[in-house]
Amino acid sequence: MLIGEVAAQMGLRTSAIRYYESIGLLPAPARSSGRRNYHPDVLQQIAVIQIAQQAGFRIAEIQTLVRGFKGKGRPSKRWRTLAERKLHEIDIQISEAARMQRLLKVLLRCECPTLEDCGRALQAR
C-alpha cells in the first residue's frame, strides 16, 4: 500500500504517517522506486495509535506501549507499569464522564426558571 492509500483509509494526512515513522511508532516501510510501500498490517498499528491518542495517551506513552508489544513473549515490565497506570487514569475518566452524564440527564428534566435555581436543586441532592 502506498502512503496515500494508508492515509485515506485511516483518515490521516500523509505527514502524520511520516511523523509516526520518524518517532518510531511505525516501522520504516519497504521502498520501491523511492516510494513507501506499506504492509497491510500498518492499518492495525495505526488504529492502535489512534485509540491510544483518543484515550489520552501522550506520544511517549504510545511509544512505550508500542515497543512493549515487540516480540512474542509476555509484555515487558515497563509496558505493564504503563498499562496499570493508564487503566487507573481511564477508570477516573470514565467515572467523571458518568457523573457528567447523570448531571446532563437531570438538566434535561429540569424545569427551573434559571440555571442558578437548577444548580441549587442539584446541590440539594
Q: For residue 72, what pLDDT is reported?
A: 56
Q: For residue 111, what pLDDT is reported?
A: 80
Q: Which of 5-19, 58-72, 91-105 has the lowest mean pLDDT?
A: 58-72
Q: For residue 123, what pLDDT is reported?
A: 64
Q: State pLDDT tens for residues 14-73.
A: 999 999 999 999 999 999 999 999 999 999 999 999 998 988 889 988 988 877 665 555
Asked whether residue 115 carries a pLDDT value surpassing 80, the answer given is no
Task: Give percent above pLDDT 70 in the chain.
Answer: 86
What's 38-90 look like in SS3?
CCCCHHHHHHHHHHHHHCCCCHHHHHHHHHHCCCCCCCCHHHHHHHHHHHHHH
Who has greater pLDDT, 75 or 103?
Answer: 103
CA atoms in the 13 A half-sphere facing the CB of 7? 13
Q: For residue 75, what pLDDT is reported?
A: 62
Give the span between the Cα atoms of 17 and 10, in whole angstroms: 10
Tell me what the pLDDT averaged over the chain comes to.
85
Asked whether residue 104 carries a pLDDT value surpassing 90, the answer given is no
In three-state secondary structure terms, 32 is strand
